[in-house]
Amino acid sequence: ETGVTQSPTHLIKTRGQQVTLRCSSQSGHNTVSWYQQALGQGPQFIFQYYREEENGRGNFPPRFSGLQFPNYSSELNVNALELDDSALYLCASRIQTGEDTDTQYFGPGTRLTVL
């Protein structure tokens, strides 16, 4: 088990609604990334936050947004939910400087279902 936690575990929303997912980083990690894993696929990079700013983004529309807080915890917000947003959302944390900066440690994920 990593020290990365996510909440909630499961969530059901309807199309057009908005959702907020939360992540608490592993102790000592100052960088957080979010990934979307659709059923039967590998995770896809959404974005990364460091020092409370987004510093990398994958091929996701602006209705996917995030925040990072001074304690390095993070939120993923998705507006105007679509059916295709149904997926497992994974949070990963890592350190930005020093050794082992490439290794990301994942939380258990939040399963989002959009009806």
In the complex, the residues that contact another protein under the rule CB under 8 A are 2, 4, 33, 35, 40-45, 48, 55-56, 58, 90, 92, 102-109
Spatial distance between the Cα atoms of 10 and 104, rounded to a whole number of angstroms: 23
Between residues 18 and 54, which has the closer beta carbon with respect to another protein? 54
Minimum Å distance from CB 102 to another protein? Answer: 4
Between residues 55 and 77, which has the closer beta carbon with respect to another protein? 55
Q: CA 32, 66, 73, 48: dihedral to nearest 10 degrees?
A: 10
Spatial distance between the Cα atoms of 101 and 96, rounded to a whole number of angstroms: 6
Minimum Å distance from CB 56 to another protein? Answer: 3
Structure tokens at 66: 């995030």
